[in-house]
Structure 1
Amino acid sequence: MNLNSKFSYICFFMLMSSSLILLFLLKIIFYNITYMLEFEMMFFNSVSFCFIIFIDWMSLTFSLTVILISSLILIYGNEYMGKNCYQFLWLTILFILFMIIMIYSPSILGVILGWDGLGLISYCLVIYYNSTDAFNSGFITAASNRLGDSMLIMSIIWFSFKGMYLFYENLSLGFLYFFMACLTKSAQIPFSAWLPAAMAAPTPISSLVHSSTLVTAGVYMLIRFYNMLINADLNIILLVISILTIIMAGLTSFFENDMKRIIALSTLGQLGFMMMILAVGYTSVAFFHLLIHALFKALLFMCAGAMIHSGMSMQDTRKMGNLKIDFFLKLSLSISSYCLMGLPFTSGFYSKDFLLELSLMSYPGIGIGLMMILSALITVSYSVRLMKLISSSNYWIVWIPSSKYLLVPIFTLTLMNVFGGCILNWLIMNELNLILINTIYKISPLVMIMTGLIWQGLLPINSIMCFFLSNMMFISILTKNMSKSVMLMFFNLKVMDQGWFEMIFMQMKYMFIYKSFFMKSITTYLNYLPLLSLILIMILFI
């Protein structure tokens, strides 16, 4: 194993800190304790600028999940990227650090520190391979995230009118800007195009981004400040946006052949599920599904990365059949896919079943529940399609056996997926009310899962539908055209600045300042104006 000693110490420190966080979490849950630490950085014009750390069961649970997954991904990424990957590993560590800062901050001043750090480091990681596709994807990712950052800056300006930067103390228009920032960070419609485009990044960072860091930041912040969402009457808007995102992501997955992009679109759909159940009013279920999704999505990307790493960098699912995959890799890929589908006796079933049953008995009515069950059918269908494409094809690829140092973190994360649902259900799902629904509605999720296993090959396909859905309902085309327009504008400004602007303005400066005696006289007079004014005042007083 060619892991540098510094990074081995860092991974050991992260694993030890996760064990300490777990002990502290059990204490906080048992005694129902909350800590809030405030550090005053500056006091200006009766406004106190403070950095605040808020420690409770939710922040500790999420940070524990982030640290555990990140430590495994660091070990995985060192083997995946090769020997000279120090820059990549340091960027990954900074990425984790900014996420931890954002998790523990209830103030917008602390949130923007982690928020901006995530955006900048994600851009550096997307363009890591220095290819044309990577640069284009990086620009789309950075532009979308900077739009959210500008909304966050607008909320800071609005909050400064009252001199309060804590979200739960400030009920104003500033939360609307913060809501828009959360939508861009979690890639909800109409800001969904950057999430599949970010697949140009290396697979280890894709595993980290799509499981527990960048895309989950918006969902986590809306869960934390759900009362603000209700007071601003934005939950209905969030409900509509999330449903559209789920349907769009699920249908687009049927017409995608890149393995990483299919998994990215599944992330988009699961984020829509979290936003939907949050808009309905069940914050604990949304947070529970967020944690479960982090576990199985990290495992799914790590399995895909091991296949790409060992299969001559092949990502097209139409050419990935007949692969001689290791037994542990097959087992891990199956378990992560079953968790994504929500099959019974998997970790994904714990959260997915709660989510579907509560949506059936929610206040918007039975229609929302039926749409969620239909979305679950679509999820199962494209998951089975992915497994079918991987396992059967007319192509044959020379398979290089996977390294054992890739399989060790994968198998560890597989064990976490097997037992994680039960443990998290025991820890955090203790306030759920009794669910009473009819037998037909109770078995409908299972019926949809079984139907999805059959329906995946029966979807009618024509050229118009394929073009419409493969471009994410034209969202990706609009985003690419807008990014091209912005790049063209900057290019024209650069050309004009180096050409016409420089020539015209330099000639005007030379003509009217250096050649004109009148302008030179005025300039000399302006330079001596303070002295002449002082002499005039002295004369008047004398």
Structure 2
Amino acid sequence: MGWFLQNAWLIPLLPLIGFVVITLTPIQRNRNASAWLATLLMVGATIIALGTTVEVAGGVKIAADGAVAAHTEEGHAIEPAADKGAGHGFEWRDPNIVRTIRWAPAGGDVSFTMGYIIDPAVAAMLVMVTITATCIHLFSVGYMAHDPRQARFFSFISLFTAAMLAMVMASNLLLFFMAWEIMGLCSYLLIGFWYDKNYADPNQITPRQAAIKAFITTRIGDVLFMIGLAWLWTEAGTLELGTGPGQVFNPALLERLAATTTGIGISAATGIALLIFSGTIGKSAQFPLHVWLPDAMEGPTPVSALIHAATMVSAGVFLTARTFPIFQVGDALPVVATIGAFTALFAALIAVGQFDIKRILAYSTLSQLGFMVAALGIGGWVAAMFHLLTHAFFKALLFLGSGSVIHGMEATVGHDSNTAQDIRNMGGLRRFMPVTFLAYMAGFLALVGFPGFAGFWSKDEILADAFRANTLVWGVLSLASLLTAFYMTRQIMVVFFGTFRGHHPRQQPYAFVSHDDHRHEAHDPHESPWTMTAPLVILALFAVFAGVVNLPFDGFHHLADFFGQEAGKLNLLVMGISGAIAIGGIVLGWLVYRNAFVSSAEEADPLERMMPGVFTVLNRKFYVDELYAATVGAAAAVLTRIWTWLDEQVIDRVVIETGRFTRFLGQVNFILDDALLNDGADLMATGTQVAGDRTRRTTTGKVQDYVALAFAGAVVLGVLYLYLVR
């Protein structure tokens, strides 16, 4: 008992070993060996994560001296003000194990530590991340089988997963931030994995451009997050997680942060919380930093699943959930709820007008993340974490399912992503890909919140909390739920029903530029290999049954009890409305799209025919990218030109003239050194030598010579005396 908790450090270490081995050893030359090594190491991490969670659920608690003790249900409640719309409240529970080592001194007796902490929230996240990441690894074995850089791909996703796991387990916010930044680097590398891919359409973003866009956009939130950590360190002198002395959630410290007023009229707790939440806005792609996530679809589809499900975007929500006590004592929660609710509706509207199968799911992810953020904003901590966990499974399923669809479509239309991912070129795929279809339907029903599926229970709990705490937020989220059911039904109807249109795909305005631009028009789409369908089946089971861990009935609040938090209450009215919204959205989508694209992929979208202006706005994503290009992008271009002028006309000239002046001084110095120091010294030496030689010649040893010299000297002295002295 306690072995898994004591060895939980192996969970991030195993995928990290995969990264090191694949990157630095000859195994990288064998693509299959690299793929299976990374996958098997993830299986090992999953087993340890499951064992760790079982021990946490069993009440195992490891003391600092290694003694195994019974878990105590002690918690530390942070009481928010009554007018902040808190949900059921939140209590920081004492962890089951904390293991740290002294890492770096920080002045005086203070030092940064490095270590891990396991509590119920961490255990739940570990299970979710490892299971979904393992399924994504296995799917990638088949999906990336023919890619010449397959080993490089598995190296990157192994490091990505290791960073996410390390972030979840981090015992302090500094280590949390370090792992957070490693994920940012990995996302850059993975989104731009096909960096040599180009398009003839100059307006279409390429993978390398998408990678840069994601990296720069998320850095905005990360910088603000880092400033928040620096401010918290200044106030607290620590970044250690916990409620004890010298830890950031210490009640006395939180009370002081809430009472400290800044120069702009907000408390220190509010300022720190807003800066930390900026990290969430960037990583979880909330408005206005949402623009990077849809373009991240330029990476391989398993990357999309990894970013949108197990890692990256989930990290942002987890950050706010992990630092929730700071939010409770400040006034940042209304801002969190507003941004989350707005993003949920805004992204759902955009998804209605998209045609790329992956981008529809990307905007769906933005919307669902908005649900989680809004739940945290109204105090529904358990509801947010519940939806975070269930969403990871069914959204990973949907993205991997879209990858299976794309893989099947490429047999007919070739590897042009514009064609293979356009839902207008699909249709009737349920006949060609039955396993993918059934699994995708499970993910679809879970996402739209169809009664009985995982997404219904987790989304309903968010809506129930919102109905009780903030009616406006509930209304916005309910409308977003209706749109979710509508646009996902649109996707299902166009992709899997009707007639197959891939043999005569929609003509693209630009030719695709690629070294692998081939088409197989004689072939129908085909089902994917078992390495791709097996993960779909596993994730489909979670999409169906994962919701049972936290049913809203007495005695079935297993997840809330596991977290040690107060469970949500059953609200039959909200549950009925939620079910009606899901079914209504499905029916509406069926009515609009049941006869869509019947004869040709060139047909206009039914919604476009009904509301062409509105549909264009949605298809162009409310022109946010164009707005940013016209404002931030234009300002950056102007600043770039100014900087270029300063660099060329000022800095370069200063450097050049400084170089010339330095060269002149060097020439002067050379002249002085050569003419005076070197030649002068040589001349003195030569003169001394000549004088000595001449003097030596006067020493002849002859008396008559000495007498002659003495006489000459006497004559000279006499002359000097007569003419000078007298």
Cα 1:503–1:328 shift into 2, 3 Å: closer
What SS class does the counterpart of residue 113 from structure 2 fall into? strand
Q: Which of 212, 221, 238 in structure 2 is aligned with 1:164?
A: 238
Give 5+ residue unaligned stretches, structure 2: 1-29, 60-70, 72-94, 199-205, 241-247, 258-267, 504-523, 593-606, 674-726
Residue in 1 aligned with 2:511?
none
Residue in 1 aligned with 2:219?
146
Residue in 2 aligned with 1:116?
181
Cα 1:176–1:502 shift into 2, 3 Å: closer
Whether the aligned pair in 1 keeps the contact of 2:114 and 2:171 (CA below 8 Å) is no
Q: Which of 120, 126, 142 in structure 2 is aligned with 1:57?
A: 120
Residue in 1 aligned with 2:144?
81
* CA apart distance, 1:56: 0.6
C-alpha distance in structure 1 between counterparts of 2:669 and 2:618, whole Å: 66
1:266 aligns with 2:364: yes
Amino acid at match of 2:534: V
Residue in 2 aligned with 1:67?
130
C-alpha distance in structure 1 between counterparts of 2:137 and 2:642, whole Å: 42
Q: Which of 20, 26, 34 in structure 1 is aligned with 2:96?
A: 34
C-alpha distance in structure 2 between counterparts of 1:385 and 1:109, whole Å: 44
C-alpha distance in structure 1 between counterparts of 2:369 and 2:644, whole Å: 42
Amino acid at match of 1:475: V
Residue in 1 aligned with 2:618?
469
Residue in 2 aligned with 1:406?
532
Whether the aligned pair in 1 keeps the contact of 2:222 and 2:278 (CA below 8 Å) is no
Residue in 2 aligned with 1:512?
661
Residue in 2 aligned with 1:300?
398
C-alpha distance in structure 1 between counterparts of 2:43 and 2:316, whole Å: 26
C-alpha distance in structure 2 between counterparts of 1:134 and 1:493, whole Å: 29
Within a 5 Å distance, the mapping from 1:390-401 to structure 2 comes to: 390=495, 391-392=497-498, 395-397=501-503, 398-401=524-527
Amino acid at match of 1:374: L
Residue in 2 aligned with 1:251?
349
Whether the aligned pair in 2 keeps the contact of 1:25 and 1:61 (CA below 8 Å) is yes
C-alpha distance in structure 2 between counterparts of 1:3 and 1:65, whole Å: 27
Can you list the C-alpha shifts for 1:273-299, whole angstroms capped at 9, x where unaligned? 111111111211110110000000000
Cα 1:330–1:28 shift into 2, 3 Å: same
Structure whose residues are more often helix by fraction? 1
Amino acid at match of 2:362: A
C-alpha distance in structure 1 between counterparts of 2:113 and 2:291, whole Å: 36
Q: Which of 560, 584, 587 in structure 2 is aligned with 1:429?
A: 560
* CA apart distance, 1:469: 2.5
Amino acid at match of 2:395: K
Cα 1:236–1:201 shift into 2, 3 Å: same
Within a 5 Å distance, the mapping from 1:44-443 to structure 2 comes to: 44-46=106-108, 47-83=110-146, 84=148, 85-130=150-195, 131-132=197-198, 133-162=206-235, 163-166=237-240, 167-169=248-250, 171=257, 172=268, 173-312=271-410, 313=415, 314-323=420-429, 324-362=431-469, 364=470, 366-390=471-495, 391-392=497-498, 395-397=501-503, 398-423=524-549, 427-430=558-561, 431-433=565-567, 435=569, 437=571, 440-443=573-576
What SS class does the counterpart of residue 515 from structure 1 fall into? helix
Whether the aligned pair in 2 keeps the contact of 1:139 and 1:483 (CA below 8 Å) is no
Q: Which of 33, 36, 42 in structure 2 is aligned with 1:8?
A: 36
* CA apart distance, 1:451: 1.6
Whether the aligned pair in 2 keeps the contact of 1:193 and 1:472 (CA below 8 Å) is no
C-alpha distance in structure 1 between counterparts of 2:113 and 2:654, whole Å: 46
Cα 1:378–1:19 shift into 2, 3 Å: same
What SS class does the counterpart of residue 285 from structure 2 fall into? coil
Whether the aligned pair in 1 keeps the contact of 2:221 and 2:278 (CA below 8 Å) is yes
Whether the aligned pair in 2 keeps the contact of 1:235 and 1:279 (CA below 8 Å) is yes
Whether the aligned pair in 1 keeps the contact of 2:344 and 2:371 (CA below 8 Å) is yes
What SS class does the counterpart of residue 281 from structure 1 fall into? coil
Amino acid at match of 2:618: L
Can you list the C-alpha shifts for 1:484-513, whole angstroms capped at 9, x where unaligned? 447746865896588546762354124433
* CA apart distance, 1:179: 1.5
Cα 1:64–1:516 shift into 2, 3 Å: same
* CA apart distance, 1:440: 4.7
Cα 1:145–1:434 shift into 2, 3 Å: closer
What SS class does the counterpart of residue 626 from structure 2 fall into? helix
Cα 1:123–1:331 shift into 2, 3 Å: same
Can you list the C-alpha shifts for 1:162-203, whole angstroms capped at 9, x where unaligned? 421234256444333212111111111111111111111110
Amino acid at match of 1:157: A
Cα 1:483–1:73 shift into 2, 3 Å: farther
Give 5+ residue unaligned stretches, structure 1: 525-542
Whether the aligned pair in 2 keeps the contact of 1:319 and 1:393 (CA below 8 Å) is no
Whether the aligned pair in 2 keeps the contact of 1:3 and 1:78 (CA below 8 Å) is no
Whether the aligned pair in 2 keeps the contact of 1:38 and 1:50 (CA below 8 Å) is yes
C-alpha distance in structure 2 between counterparts of 1:137 and 1:4, whole Å: 28
Percent of aligned pairs with the same residue? 24
Which is higher, the Rg of structure 1 or of structure 2?
A: 2
Whether the aligned pair in 1 keeps the contact of 2:378 and 2:466 (CA below 8 Å) is yes
Amino acid at match of 1:477: E
Whether the aligned pair in 2 keeps the contact of 1:40 and 1:48 (CA below 8 Å) is yes
Residue in 2 aligned with 1:532?
none
Query: Structure 1 residues 506-515 or 295-304, which shifts more?
Result: 506-515
Query: Structure 1 residues 459-468 or 385-394, which shifts more?
Result: 459-468
* CA apart distance, 1:241: 0.8
Cα 1:251–1:117 shift into 2, 3 Å: same
Aligned residues: 519
What SS class does the counterpart of residue 58 from structure 2 fall into? helix
Alignment TM-score, normalising by the size of structure 2: 0.67
Amino acid at match of 2:132: I
Whether the aligned pair in 2 keeps the contact of 1:3 and 1:79 (CA below 8 Å) is no
Query: Structure 1 residues 227-236 or 368-377, which shifts more?
Result: 368-377
C-alpha distance in structure 1 between counterparts of 2:666 and 2:569, whole Å: 89
* CA apart distance, 1:387: 0.6
Amino acid at match of 1:29: A
Q: Which of 563, 569, 582 in structure 2 is aligned with 1:449?
A: 582
Can you list the C-alpha shifts for 1:229-281, whole angstroms capped at 9, x where unaligned? 12221110111111110111111111111110000011011001111111111
Amino acid at match of 1:358: D
